[in-house]
Structure formats: C-alpha cells, structure tokens
Structure 1
C-alpha cells in the first residue's frame, strides 16, 4: 500500500530474466569469439542494460530491509501533561496516522524541566522511527536560552519532521479579578510592585518567557509561579491563588465559557476567531508582546530520511482532513503544516529570538 515503506522483492523475476540473459551471453560469445577490446566493451554496455531492465532497475544492497515500516507500535512523546494544547494536537494526528499505517501509536506524556525531560527521552531513543517528539518549535529555542547546561541540542540531536499548527496564547485572569482590561491589570501591577503573580507551565518554557516579555513591555514587576503544566495552573487561577496566566488557549476555553475565568487579550497578531471580542496586545498598547504556540514533530538524529519523509507525508494527509481542522480550530489551533526544511529554518530563528528576550529580561540561564 502507498503508506508503507516497502522494499521491492524481485528475486523470482530476476532469476528468470537472468537465465535468459545468460543464454544471450553464450550466443554472443559463440558468434563473436575472441573479438577485440571494443567488442567486449560494447558487450558489457549491452548486457548491463539487459540486466538493469531484467531487474526493474533494482540492484540489491546489503542494507536493504525486507520488512515494511512500521512493523510495531510507535510512540509520540509529549513533554507536557495530558489535557493541554500539545497533548490535543498529538492525540488528534496520532489517531489518523495510526489508522493509515495500521499500527497503534502510544501517547507518552513526560512533562517537566521546560520540555527537557520529554525531549531528552526522544534524543536518547534509537533513531529507528518508532519514537517521535510532539513539542512547540519555539519552546526548544526557549529551553536552550534558559538552560545553561543541557545534555542535548535540538539543532543537532533532533531532526525536524514538520510544523503541525499554530496556537493562540491568551492573557487570562480569575473571574473574581478586579481587572477587566489589560490596562487595568497593568495599573494594578504598577501599584503593587513585586506582589502580583503570573503562572507558567514551567520555568524556562515558552509560556514563562512570554510572561517575561509582557513584564518588559508593560514595565511591571510581577512574581513568576511555575507549574508542571497548564492543567495544574487552572485550579489555582480559578481560585485566585495566582493573578494571571499568559498561556496557550485550549485548556482554558471550557472555563472561559463557564465564566470561571476571563480573557483580557490575545498575544497573536490578529484577533482569535474563538475570542473575537478580545483585543490583541498591540491594540492595548503592547505591540512587542507577540507569542504563539507552534506545534511541531521531531525525531532523534540519525532517523532514516525515508522514514522522516513518510511521517511528514502522513502528517500532511492527517492535517488535510476536515474533521481534524475543525477539532483543532475549536481549540484555537490553526493547522499550518510545513516541510522538514521549513521547520528547521523556523527552529533556528526561534533560537535567536528567545535568546534576545532572555538577555533583555536580565534572566540568567540555569
């Protein structure tokens, strides 16, 4: 089938065709006898062509695998807890890819250390195409900007498979907050320097630096409160134990609709279709606060390129399905697939961007 990486097995056809070729060689030799060198060269070219045609252009190679790919279940490692945007993206495409490839795909949530724990698992996995990382692309740049010593470098130790989608980042406060606008929130923070808090899904992760970006732009002093993931933030935010979160939108939507939380703005360049009444940061006077989640897929360096290309193809097919687009759009996630090369270029840009934010914020890599 077209979704399998199969190796052509031409043994029977080759034997029959080569038998016919041998008879032609014998006939040629009998007719020509010990002809000159030019005849021998002509004969070699002639029969080389016959052999190529007889084998269908297939020349056996010692590294050729006789089995199709995949032959066993695969796993998608997600460096965040279940229930967040990255988890939703991974589960949505895994279902479609699993159905096409005929193998189950296990979602393995490995949160912590600003995505470093989950990323390292994939980096250290065998590069055989059975372990994949679904993670923010920009998050890798943030991670390396914030961590002085890491046992890996995503630019060298991972291969880019392709970008999956972009997600909306929104500024969210408890329903009980006195702030009804971003301007009011900023005024409260300026009146209480060092007392108000903002939550993130982990120190050194994208959402942490988005909060720092907000502090720089608004010129406020707020305390960072890190959590292991978005799902852990929400109960404390609802109860008012933290004052705000500038976070990926999907997990917050049910609570926004239920009135337990309130969104004040989005950090994208355009308003969100899910929050059409909420302004962008540029509209509230903070144009430098631009952040979004960019979901991508990676594999361990050394993964065969044909397997990487297969997964990119399967990812593109999954993202082209209307039900997939609708499911992700309902969570504020816009499908935006790319080639491996395009995603790698984006990864390099994100490294530069977030290194600049860390320097401007005066943060010290851990």
Structure 2
C-alpha cells in the first residue's frame, strides 16, 4: 500500500469514527439509563403537572424509568442552562417554556443561546393564563381591576413564575395597552406564587387554570379575565382581556420539548416520534384537558419556527416598551 492509499484509508476510518456515535446512539434508543425530563419550575405548577402526565405515559411506552427533575429559579433559566449543557446521549430532555426560549434572552444575559445550544423536539402543550385576585382585595371584575390600577399607580402588584415568563409579559402587555402601572413580583414557580396570593401577600396573579381553578371554585380567588383569544371552557362566564376593551390582546403560554444541541439528529427524531405518540394518546389528552392544557404535538421544524416567531414578537415588545429587569 502506497502512501496515498494509506492516507485515503486513514481518512475514511476517521470519518467513520466521527459518524459512529450518532449511529450507535440512534440504534440504542431509548438510552439504557433513566430518562430525565427537566422542568424549570417548582413542583405543583402547570409545567410540573403536564410533565408528570406525559412522563408517566412515556415511561410505559418505552419501558424505562422516567424521572421528573425540578430545577426552579430565574424564571426557568437555570433548568434551560442545565439542559443546554446536558449529555449527548439523549437521556436528558427539557420541558422548555416560552419565557426562557423566547423572552428572557431579550431581557437579560443568559448563559445559553436557545437557537444554538438547545435543539427542538416538539411543542408540548399550549394554554392561556387567567388573571386572578385574592377574594379579600375587594375587586370583583376586570374593569374594577383596571380602574383601581389607574387610580393607584404602582400599588397593585402581580405574581409571575419569574422574570421574562409568560405571566410577566402578560402583565407588561396589559400595562402597555391599558396605560396602567402595576408592580411585577417574580417567583420560582406557580406553586410559591399561588401560596403568597392565597396568603394575601400579593394582590394578583396571571395563573394557569390548573393552578388556580380549585381556589376559584372554593371562592378564595376571583377570576377577572383570561389572556387568550377565546374564553376558557372551564370558566365560560369569565371574559378575555381582548373582549374587555383591549382588542388584539393575547398572551398565551406554552411548554415544548427540547434537548441539548449535542444530541445527534437521529436521536432527536426518535424523541419526536415517541413524544408525539404520547401527546396524541387519548388518555393523555383527556388528563391534560382536565388541567386546561391543550396538547400541541408537531414536527421539530414547526417548533423551531414557533420559537423564532415568538422571539421576534416579544423582542420587539421589550425594545419598544424599554422593559428592563429591576
């Protein structure tokens, strides 16, 4: 064998060595160790609830343990950074949220790039929030909420699941459209935000339906309006903000599955297949619906487009309103 042939063979072997890990991992699916779904918020909120419903069915389908790993803090950004630095074998996937994926990068310096460090798998669930207030506040309608805020600038505060979260931006958008000034109070998830709301330590909360509904039914919380384009089926008498004098208002929330961009494409495609199957399962759809969560399974490409579209939208709102984290 001459030197030229030796170099050709050596180069082919090197190329095969580079491709082998992706091929091998695609064949070895699911990963032999536990599968971990990382959630960026505390246990008890909508993200945690949905992840556990989906994770249970996923484990049954794959025949492997599925562990929910709650890593709350910084509006979900801690979990997103953790997932971005996760292993390349696909054993760790993230139930990512609209805030860290499309909003937070426009508000703060985050230690990851959603477009480069996290790879899309599929949209998970979509849902509006509902603006609720403590029953002891004395406000019974959305019109009264806006009137009080106009008369008392800065005195009405509202909870969110963190800076740059969908709940945070829902409040910013209402402040902008209604020309009012409310005070944003960030928390590490829906459960601690709800705890302070029920305790009267914060006046309002742009809550998920699953978090607020039991306390609405008990009378401890008053629902004023929902943030989506249509009324919530579980609360048909509660108007949307859009129909309450602010047409065009819409601030929906969603959670989507992503993973570290180090995970090979064949593994990401397999995760898409398995997760879409779970999200379409009738028993999963039914259980999610009980919590006001609508499954939105789709392609990896569709999720990438949605992330890019929402990032552009919220980036523009943040720039035009000069929103900063104080």
Regarding TM over 0.5, the answer is: yes
Q: Is the 8 A contact 1:139 1:206 kept in 2?
A: no
| Counterpart in the other structure of 1:228 | 188
Output the CA distance in 1 between the equivalents of 2:174 and 2:47. Answer: 22
Alignment of 1:100-115 (within 5 A): 100-115=61-76
| Counterpart in the other structure of 1:134 | 95
Q: Is the 8 A contact 1:114 1:202 kept in 2?
A: yes
The 1:273–1:139 alpha-carbon spacing in structure 2 relative to 1, beyond 3 Å, is farther
Q: State the Cα distance separating 1:187 from its structure 2 match.
A: 0.5
| Counterpart in the other structure of 2:127 | 167
Residue by residue over 1:332-354, the C-alpha shift from the partner in whole angstroms, topping out at 9 and shown as x without a partner, is 11111110000000000111111
Q: State the Cα distance separating 1:306 from its structure 2 match.
A: 1.5
Q: Is the 8 A contact 2:75 2:187 kept in 1?
A: no
Q: State the Cα distance separating 1:177 from its structure 2 match.
A: 2.5
* The structure with more radius of gyration: 1
Residue by residue over 1:66-120, the C-alpha shift from the partner in whole angstroms, topping out at 9 and shown as x without a partner, is 9632211111110011111111111111111111111111111001112110001
SS in structure 2 of the partner of residue 65 of structure 1: helix
Residue by residue over 1:184-213, the C-alpha shift from the partner in whole angstroms, topping out at 9 and shown as x without a partner, is 111011111121111111122221111111
| Counterpart in the other structure of 1:65 | 24
Output the CA distance in 1 between the equivalents of 2:143 and 2:245. Answer: 9
Output the CA distance in 1 between the equivalents of 2:171 and 2:98. Answer: 18
| Counterpart in the other structure of 1:89 | 50
| Counterpart in the other structure of 1:243 | 203
| Counterpart in the other structure of 1:256 | 216
- The answer to whether 1:125 aligns with 2:89 is no
SS in structure 2 of the partner of residue 265 of structure 1: strand
Q: Is the 8 A contact 1:137 1:346 kept in 2?
A: no
Alignment of 1:1-366 (within 5 A): 63=20, 64-65=23-24, 68-69=28-29, 70-137=31-98, 139-147=100-108, 149-364=109-324
Superposition TM-score, scaled by structure 2 size: 0.89
Output the CA distance in 2 between the equivalents of 1:238 and 1:74. Answer: 35
SS in structure 2 of the partner of residue 100 of structure 1: helix
Q: State the Cα distance separating 1:360 from its structure 2 match.
A: 2.8
Output the CA distance in 2 between the equivalents of 1:266 and 1:156. Answer: 34
Calculate the aligned-residue CA RMSD, in Å: 1.6
Superposition TM-score, scaled by structure 1 size: 0.80
SS in structure 2 of the partner of residue 220 of structure 1: coil
Q: Is the 8 A contact 2:84 2:118 kept in 1?
A: yes
Count residues with an aligned counterpart.
Answer: 305
Output the CA distance in 2 between the equivalents of 1:82 and 1:336. Answer: 22
The 1:297–1:229 alpha-carbon spacing in structure 2 relative to 1, beyond 3 Å, is same
Shifted more, 232-241 versus 316-325: the winner is 232-241
Q: State the Cα distance separating 1:365 from its structure 2 match.
A: 5.8
Output the CA distance in 2 between the equivalents of 1:287 and 1:139. Answer: 27
Q: State the Cα distance separating 1:239 from its structure 2 match.
A: 2.9
Output the CA distance in 1 between the equivalents of 2:51 and 2:301. Answer: 21
Give structure 1 stretches of 5+ with no counterpart.
1-60
